[in-house]
Each structure stands twice: as structure tokens, then as C-alpha cells.
Copies of this chain bind each other. A is one copy, B any other.
Amino acid sequence: MTTYNFTHVYVESRGLIGGVKEKQGPLGSLFDKNYEDYYAGEKTFEKCEQLMVKEACDYALRKANLKINDLDLLIGGDLMNQLSTSHYFARNLNIPFIGMYAACATSSLIIGQAALYIEYFLANKVLAFTSSHANDAERQFRYPNEYGVQKKTSTTITVTGAGACVLSSKQSKIKVTSFTIGKIIDWDYKDVSDMGKAMAPAAFETLLTHLKDTNRNIDDYDCIVTGDLSKLGFGFLCDLLKQEDMKTEILNDCGLLIYHENQADTFCGGSGCACSMLVSMSDLLNKIEDGTYHRIMVIATGALLSPIPIEQKESIPCIAHAIVYEGVTL
């Protein structure tokens, strides 16, 4: 049993910052703010990412009419080595901090963890946040974009953005009802330019575990999104599900939803911690709020890629954590 159910955990508010390409995508207008370039007035990409996460948190707090000191706990994570974005942001806040890492699955991990603290009355207000930036992530994990290394068509592009949410037991239209913790899955894929395919089995495993744990089937959800499997990885997941005679019509992938299908230089789709956070916290939760959806699941997937093991000829272990959101009629 790896699924935890919650009875009184709500999304009190959300704050979302997008980057240049994310603004141009179909969800751009739903974010609280979009940056016009990759620096936003900062000297480095890293500092730009720290600013993004700060602004996302500011929006989330302001919308809930909260001050920093009203928070009991911060839970954050990001792609930068040593979670430096989260740490350099949180050092100014003087609030207890928990750092977590699950690559691009971090969004579901921090939200699930925050939900546990609310459910068991360990905190009244928890701020969960994550972020990613195309330029700092790419130079850390592969090559600086400035080198102009030709990318394979199977590659994904790291989403530039940040998302934050306040979870609490204060009733809102959006309830967090389940959290399924993933296992690390490694099907021996080694291509760092095709991580979607490596991650698909992890999404598959977590989806099956979740349905078994909750005794539900796919029809019990209005929408299930993975994030971020790329076109190739998402196709692979659908193939795996079809082998189990499962429907795939209500499935989609955050990496495909964040950009237009033919948007320039977005290759096989978006990735990065911010991708599933931005997509789920904007369009999907809006649709819960307005009654379009009643119950959705976000299966954030992470390629636990690390450059040194890859240089040592290792494969890419992956993980997927799932969060279920449900609508509440107030």
C-alpha cells in the first residue's frame, strides 16, 4: 500500500510564473506572470530561477492573503545541484524547510508531502514550491545551450518557470485527496536525449499501483496527466496501457500540453520540475474549480539522471509520484 488518502487537505492558493516559450504556449495567459527573457534582470540564469520561485511564492501568499510568518512549513525542490534554487530562496524566510528531490517528479512529491503534514495536523499552512529553467538545467545536465550543440528530435526542453501552492485545511474548491509514492524503475534506457521513454515505465507502474490501491479504474477520473514523458514516452506509455486493455483517451502529458504542437524549438515536449507544476496548477485545477472536471490525477515523472553515473555507462533510473485532486462544491 503506497497510496495515502486525505480527508481535509485543500489547495488554498497557487502562484505561477512562466518563461518566454511558456508564455507563447497555449497556457501562457493562465500564469500570473511571464518573463520576457531568460534573465529577468538578474545576472545569471540561476538567480533568475531563484527570482521566479520567489515571485511564484509571493503570488500564492498574496492570493491567500497570507504573510510569510503565517506559514508553518516550506517544502521545496528543484533540478539544480544541491537544490540550490530552493535553498537560496528559502534562506530569507525564517520558516522550517524540508528539501526533497525527485527530478521532474518533484512537484507531486512536495505536494504529497505537504498534504501529509496538513492531514495529520502537523502544520496549518504549508507552502510547496518548485521551479526549473531551460538554460541553467541544460548546462548542468548536458551542455550549455550557448554551445549550440545539435539536439536530437527525441529530446525534451526544460520548462522555464516556477510554481507554488499553499495547502491547508481551509476549505476551497480544490481538494487534494490522494498521494501515491512511486518506486524507482529502471528498464535500462541510457539515452539522455530520450528520457521520456525511460520514464514511461515508472508512470505505468505508479498508475497501476494507484488504481489497485484505490480499487478504481481509469473511468473514475476525468483526466489523468503524466509529466513529462515527451511525445515518444507518452506513446510508449499508451502502448503499455493498451497491452493491459486499458483506455488511454483521457490521458495526456504535461510536456505536450504546455507548448503548441508545432511551436518552434520545443522538440518532443516540455520537461523540468516546473512543467507538471505549471500545467496542473493552471489549466487543470482551473477546470476543477469551474466544475469541468470532478477528479483528476497528476502523475509527475522524474528521470533520476545524474551526469556522473551516465559517464560511467549507467542507465537512467526513473520515478513517478501521483497526486489526485477533486472538486468540492462549496
Q: Indicate if A317 sits at the interface (CB-CB under 8 A).
A: yes
With A87-B304, A94-B183, A116-B122 in contact, is A46–B309 under 8 Å at CB?
yes
- Interface locus among A28-36, A101-109, A144-152: A101-109
Q: Indicate if A243 sits at the interface (CB-CB under 8 A).
A: no
Judging by beta carbons under 8 Å apart, are A102 and B101 in contact? no
Q: How far is the CB of A124 from chain B (nearest CB, A)?
A: 10
What 0/1 pattern do residues 91 to 135 of A give for CB contact below 8 A with B?
Answer: 101111111111100000100010010001010000000000000
Q: Indicate if A319 sits at the interface (CB-CB under 8 A).
A: yes
User: What CA separation (Å) do A100 and B99 show in the bound complex?
Assistant: 6
Q: Indicate if A171 sits at the interface (CB-CB under 8 A).
A: no
Chain B residues with CB below 8 A from A319, complex form = 87, 97
Q: Indicate if A84 sits at the interface (CB-CB under 8 A).
A: yes
Task: Specify which of B1, B46, B96 is in contact with A183 (CB 8 Å cutoff).
Answer: B96
Chain B residues with CB below 8 A from A43, complex form = 312
Chain B residues with CB below 8 A from A113, complex form = 98
What 0/1 pattern do residues 159 to 197 of A give for CB contact below 8 A with B?
Answer: 000000000000000000000011111100000000000
Chain B residues with CB below 8 A from A88, complex form = 309, 314, 317
Judging by beta carbons under 8 Å apart, are A73 and B181 in contact? yes
Q: Indicate if A260 sits at the interface (CB-CB under 8 A).
A: no
Judging by beta carbons under 8 Å apart, are A181 and B97 in contact? yes
Judging by beta carbons under 8 Å apart, are B183 and A97 in contact? yes
Q: Indicate if A82 sits at the interface (CB-CB under 8 A).
A: yes
What 0/1 pattern do residues 296 to 330 of A give for CB contact below 8 A with B?
Answer: 00000000111111001010010100000000000
Judging by beta carbons under 8 Å apart, are B103 and A101 in contact? no
Judging by beta carbons under 8 Å apart, are B91 and A317 in contact? yes
User: What CA separation (Å) do A308 and B102 show in the bound complex?
Assistant: 20
Judging by beta carbons under 8 Å apart, are B100 and A100 in contact? yes
Judging by beta carbons under 8 Å apart, are B91 and A185 in contact? yes
Q: A2-B72, A46-B308, A97-B319 are in contact. List 13 more A-B contacts (CB 8 A).
A: A1-B72, A81-B308, A84-B306, A87-B184, A87-B304, A90-B184, A91-B304, A91-B317, A93-B183, A96-B181, A98-B109, A98-B113, A99-B109
Q: A residues near B, CB below 8 A? A: 1-2, 4, 43-44, 46-47, 72-73, 77, 80-84, 87-88, 90-91, 93-103, 109, 113, 116, 120, 122, 140, 181-186, 304-309, 312, 314, 317, 319
User: 11 interchain pairs (CB within 8 A)?
Assistant: A4-B122, A44-B312, A82-B304, A82-B305, A84-B304, A84-B306, A84-B308, A87-B184, A90-B317, A116-B120, A140-B308
